[in-house]
A and B are shown apart, each in its own frame.
Chain A
């Protein structure tokens, strides 16, 4: 069980986070500078909060009221740093041995077990400067796990890796986390990584935890505008309630139907860019005629930017951002075409 409440004044914002959960694997998703790394540092004891409490299972790591502040070395946290922070003057074996307690031979034996498990046998006598990024990450994981932590703190572990290596290491991390029986917090700004690795995700914005829920729920209906944006929603607009299931979307100037009930008078609606459908004829609800204003191609997908009320004369302002595969793109023949915003994909957010 993880139970934490942290308050800390920082130079550019205030950290104020609260989280209590029995989940073992928790994704922490937030943009850079939102305070997500600071959360990990507070748990590890690298940074002291101004106020609050941190408890893992039965162990109280920090409690401002009881004046408990365990030193870092007694907290039993495994910290995986963005740059892995391997000791450059020690070989792979020595790095792994560092966190193991006990006699020399026992230490070595345990380290060798981990080395075998993490496929490091061939490079065990090399220095960190002589091995690849992926190998470095494996050494850092083995080193952290060797100290038998109760909680693993993973701080953007893939951001230093090349793309081709990243996917493989994400897969390895999945296996690692499956094997680890403590609590793991995985911090990232990349929603796909968070989605791939964790079942439950906490969204962090402006120093606070905006929401904490099952990942499928989170992506289907983010509770707030900032959560929607962090989870990659490209289309957000202010909206006013018309009736139980219809809203008037202010920025787009249209009335749309929602599958879920509208909870309050005014708020926002969101629509993910990849869930907008290109259609041949306007049939049924939520169909709109749009004009293309811009397009940005990527390797497998293309982004199409459209306006609802005709081609703008001067600026390239757009209303909706659509993302589609090239197969789908072929259905767009002229400058204007029809789209549908499926009611079940539209979500309403309170202010």
Chain B
């Protein structure tokens, strides 16, 4: 029996794309929210965090309504001849939707921990707001950002429920590793399931451990010697 490797390829493609999108979106929105002190702060924060606590089926349902053939986004995209639903784009959107709050929350926590004087110092030295964000805030919050990225990556890789609802299980097209495990188990194909379970555990664990080592190494670079 030939072992079909396409789920691994699709999973990596979807996960990397989604993580990349979440990374920049999460940084920008977290920074904006850190500096925003308007009256709707708590409401906006609630909305942005919501997908984290929703059941996957609810997240999937909402996305289905939005990006389905008759949904506003789906109809708009069909003008350009692009069909999102049941494509790997849909899998990316599902991952972004579900994993975004993880990035946003963790990064905002890291931004809030930054010594405010550092940001003020940069501004008095003539830095623009963009420079303050990109050159000062992001590097200062780097441990938190790195942790958030690792978590996001792992969460995207493991995304199942919402993906199933909007991207379906089309072998060679939208079947990711978690979906492959589910359907292999359903059809009593236990050997295939075990292999995928092992692979996904190795990838997730590797990413988390590498991130830990990288962070420890960075810390040592900046402190080390004198202490």
Instruction: Give the B-binding residues of A (Cβ under 8 A).
Output: 44-46, 72-75, 77-79, 81-83, 85-89, 98-99, 101, 126-127, 129-131, 143-144, 147
Contact = CB atoms under 8 A, between A and B. Distances in A.
A81 B222 contact: no
A101 B126 contact: yes
Mostly, the B contact residues are: helix
B137 to A, nearest CB: 10
Given A73-B127, A88-B140, A89-B139, A81 B223 contact: no
Contacts of B221: 127
A85 B222 contact: no
Contacts of A73: 123-128
B186 interface: no
Given A89-B142, A147-B124, 8 more contacts: A79-B121, A79-B124, A98-B122, A98-B125, A98-B135, A129-B226, A130-B223, A131-B226
B120 A147 contact: no
B117 interface: yes
Contacts of B5: none
A87 B122 contact: yes
Nearest to B120: A46
B224 interface: yes
Contact of B226 (A45, A87, A130): A130
Contacts of B225: 126, 130
Most buried by B among A74, A83, A89, A101: A89
Nearest to B139: A89
Contact of B222 (A44, A78, A99, A127): A127
A143 B125 contact: yes
B124 A77 contact: yes
18 contacts: A44-B124, A46-B120, A73-B124, A75-B124, A77-B124, A83-B117, A85-B121, A86-B118, A87-B122, A87-B140, A88-B222, A89-B142, A127-B221, A129-B223, A129-B227, A130-B224, A147-B124, A147-B126
Contacts of B227: 129-130
Contacts of B120: 44, 46, 72, 79, 81, 85
